Structure 1
Amino acid sequence: MTDTYDLSTDIVDRIAGLTPGSPAFATRHKRDKVAFATQRSYEALFDPALPDLSLTDRLLVALYACTLSKAPALATHYAQRLASINADRAVIDQIAQGSIDAQEPRLRAMLAFTRMLIEAPIDGDRTALERLPAAGIPTPAVVALAQLIAFLSYQIRLTAGLRALQVLNATEAA
Structure 2
Amino acid sequence: MTHTVDGATTDLVDRLVGLAPGSATQALRHRRDKVAVATQQSYDALFDPALEGLTLAERLLVACYASRLTPSAALFAHYRDALEQHGVDAAARAAVETGAPEDLADARLRAILTFTRTLIENPVAGDKAALATLPAAGLTTPAVVTLAQLIAFLSYQTRVVAGLQALKQLETPT
Corresponding residue for residue 46 of structure 2: 45
In structure 2, the gaps of 5 or more residues are none
Runs of 4+ in 1 over 6 A off after TM superposition: none
Greater shift in the superposed pair: 81-90 or 103-112: 81-90
Corresponding residue for residue 137 of structure 2: 135
Corresponding residue for residue 60 of structure 1: 61
Corresponding residue for residue 6 of structure 1: 3
Cα offsets for 1:68-127 (capped at 9, x unmatched):
011111111111111111111232122112111221111011111101111111221111
TM-score normalised according to structure 2 size: 0.92
Aligned pairs (5 A) from 1:10-159: 10-103=11-104, 104-159=106-161
Deviation at 1:132, TM superposition (A): 0.6
SS in 1 for 2:19: coil
Deviation at 1:5, TM superposition (A): 5.5
Corresponding residue for residue 167 of structure 2: 165
Letter in 2 for 1:130: A
Question: What is the aligned-residue identity percentage?
Answer: 54
Deviation at 1:152, TM superposition (A): 0.3
Q: Structure 2 CA distance, aligned partners of 1:75 and 1:88?
A: 17
Count of aligned positions? 169
Q: Structure 1 CA distance, aligned partners of 2:130 and 2:89?
A: 27
CA RMSD of aligned residues (A): 1.5
Greater shift in the superposed pair: 11-20 or 51-60: 11-20
Q: Structure 1 CA distance, aligned partners of 2:48 and 2:100?
A: 26
Cα offsets for 1:22-59 (capped at 9, x unmatched):
11101100000000000000000000000010000000
Letter in 2 for 1:6: H
